Homo-oligomer: A and B are copies of this chain.
Amino acid sequence: MLEAAVQRGRQLPTGVALMRAGDPMAALFVVRSGSAKRYSVTLQGAEQVHGFVLPGEAVGLEGFASGRYTCEVSALEPLSYCRVPMRRLEPLLERLPGLRREILRLLGQALEESQRLRCELAQIDARGRVAHFLADLSGRLARRGLSPVEFRLSMSRADIARHLGLTLETVSRALSTFKREGWLRVRARDISVLRPDALTALGGGLA
């Protein structure tokens, strides 16, 4: 039943929006490959980057609050994803207790994640935040079976900065420092993690 409700194999080119703030919550999404940026735009026109979506991760859960999406999600590289229309999902929630628990679990995880991230970022300095960001990314890639030590950043320094509450110069300087200390190899957006332990230590004890 669930299988029949999922629309698979959808594609999106770089830069195009998967959802927009204010749109009715018509579906949940799960990214299959590629990555995306979740962000919103303030009244003053500044972009606030909520986070980045990696393969295997769900998008659109905040929509449960009001039935509308509250942020923009757009592809940072060519994206393939699944779409689960709410019209099909809702009847299944009645019949499948396992699916119900899974959705609640996903929401709970997203909530816990968001709160943890906020507290961690609020307490540590700039280099710690960048280290934390890299360690987090590394861990999420590993969970998906991708290399946790060799990866390519699909987002710009400015995106990272806006996500961490820093300026792009500070992010760049932090990366340079890590490179100088021998913890990373950085070549533009390609990252090699040489000392994962150093990053997690600086990042404030990520699991």
A residues neighboring B (CB under 8 Å): 40, 42-44, 46, 48-51, 61-66, 70-71, 93-94, 97, 100, 103-105, 107-112, 114-123, 162-165, 204-205
12 further A-B contacts with Cβ under 8 Å, apart from A50-B118, A94-B97, are A43-B205, A48-B120, A48-B122, A48-B123, A51-B115, A62-B111, A66-B109, A70-B116, A94-B94, A94-B100, A110-B111, A114-B115
Copies in the complex: 2
Q: Are B107 and A64 interface neighbours, CB within 8 A?
A: yes
Please name all residues of chain B whose beta carbon is closer than 8 Å to the beta carbon of A164 when the two chains form the complex: 122
Which applies to chain A's interface (DSSP): helix, strand, loop or mixed?
A: helix
Known: A61-B111, A62-B112, A65-B108. A205 touches B42 (CB 8 A): yes
